[in-house]
Amino acid sequence: MRTLLIEPGPNFSVADVHRGLLVGLAANGVTAQSFNLGDRLSFYTQAEINGVRAFAYEEACRLACQSIRAAAWDWGPDIVIVVSSFFVPPEVFVSLRNRGVHVVLWCTESPYEDERQIRQARYADTVILNDPINIDEYRQHNPRTYYVPHGYDPALHHADGRTDEHPFSFVGTGYASRIEFLEKAELPAGSVLAGNWQQVADDSPLVAFLAHDRGVCIDNADTAALYRASACSFNLYRKEAMSPTLVEGWAMGPRECELAATGTFFAREPRGEGDGLFPFLPQVTEPGELADVIRWAQDNPNARRTAAARAREAVADRSFAGTVAQFLRHIGA
């Protein structure tokens, strides 16, 4: 079986999902090839003729995606997996399916962007969700919609070489809701924030904790290394969504899975799936509670390490190899 895996385009957390699926496909004996949509988007959106942009933005995106069909005709995949589909238009899905290719929409933005993703779902043969909270609505448009949990890559997300260099670290996009929360948490000296934090104001107390330039996205391998060098971390879900009804989810996010796999103790904002997997980890809903947990983690290293080890055991079966195996069962492969 041959699979063409389409990059999401942007090189941030969803790119980690793309790379993880490549690892998982290989582990399950599936021949897979990656389509470099990110590079093609950069080319078409930045191309100039005599100093003038050659294409309007929407046209540039359309041209970048047209080559997906050419790659499929040349390579002849049985399955095409489109990760996130920020840019791939419906006609590409339809064209591939008309040629007998099984097209998968791998959604990574549930529940926050379910309005957009549900509109796309009808064009795919199979839809995979990262959060099943709205799965019944998806199935009204595509009955072949399934939930597959986030995974981790054991080659990256492991506990070897752990240290307590940093009392606290947080990796993620600096949404306004996260900035507001963490500014009130009174983070200790030596804490580290990594990810895209462009919205942090110059006079914010968080500036002192930024690990790199605000607009830079940290590589997933570096993320795992930072987790291994941290005594404590935190998973805080964003509150920014397409509508207020799409803020609350059920599934845990990729960072929780990665934190657990690296043996990192972490506090977590409550959610149904995580509540079931990690009932022994502290739940935090207020900034002051986070400050208390960080202090506790520093003062109780043995208890903290015991909880982290239990979390690692809880996700032992959630590697990307298992993620892909579950997906393959859903499509009968």
E strand or H helix at 126: strand 126-129
Tokens of 310: 């239990």
Q: Is the pLDDT of residue 195 over 70?
A: yes
Of 79, 103, 82, 96, residue with least CA distance to 30? 79
Higher pLDDT, 154 or 14: 154
Tokens of 260: 């657990």
Q: Which CATH class is domain 169-314?
A: alpha beta
Global pTM exceeds 0.85 = yes
Q: Delimit the domains of the chain by residue range.
A: 2-151+318-330, 169-314
Q: What is the mean pLDDT of residues 251-259?
A: 95
Q: What is the pLDDT of residue 62?
A: 92
Q: What is the pLDDT of residue 11?
A: 61
Distance CA 238, CA 135 (A): 20
Greatest C-alpha distance within the chain: 64
Q: What is the pLDDT of residue 14?
A: 84
Bond prior to 287 in cis (omega within 30° of 0): no
Of 178, 191, 257, residue with least CA distance to 226? 191
The per-residue pLDDT for range 62-98, each reduced to its tens digit, is: 999 999 999 999 999 999 999 998 899 999 999 999 9
190: left (phi over 0), alpha (psi -120 to 50) or beta: left
Question: What's the one-letter identity of residue 76?
Answer: G
Q: Are 298 and 275 in contact (CB under 8 A)?
A: no
DSSP SS3 for 235: strand
Q: Which fold has domain 2-151+318-330?
A: Rossmann fold (3.40.50)
The per-residue pLDDT for range 4-42, each reduced to its tens digit, is: 999 998 666 688 999 999 999 999 999 999 999 999 999
Q: What is the pLDDT of residue 10?
A: 64
Task: Work out the pLDDT band at 333, boundaries 50, 70, 90.
Answer: confident
DSSP SS3 for 266: strand
Higher pLDDT, 10 or 220: 220
DSSP for 53-110 reads ESS-HHHHHHHHHHHHHHHHHHH--SEEEEES-SS--HHHHHHHHHTT-EEEEE--ST
Task: Work out the pLDDT band at 226, boundaries 50, 70, 90.
Answer: very high
Tell me if domain 2-151+318-330 and domain 169-314 are identical in fold: yes
Q: What is the pLDDT of residue 217?
A: 78
Task: Work out the pLDDT band at 252, boundaries 50, 70, 90.
Answer: very high
Q: What is the pLDDT of residue 163?
A: 96
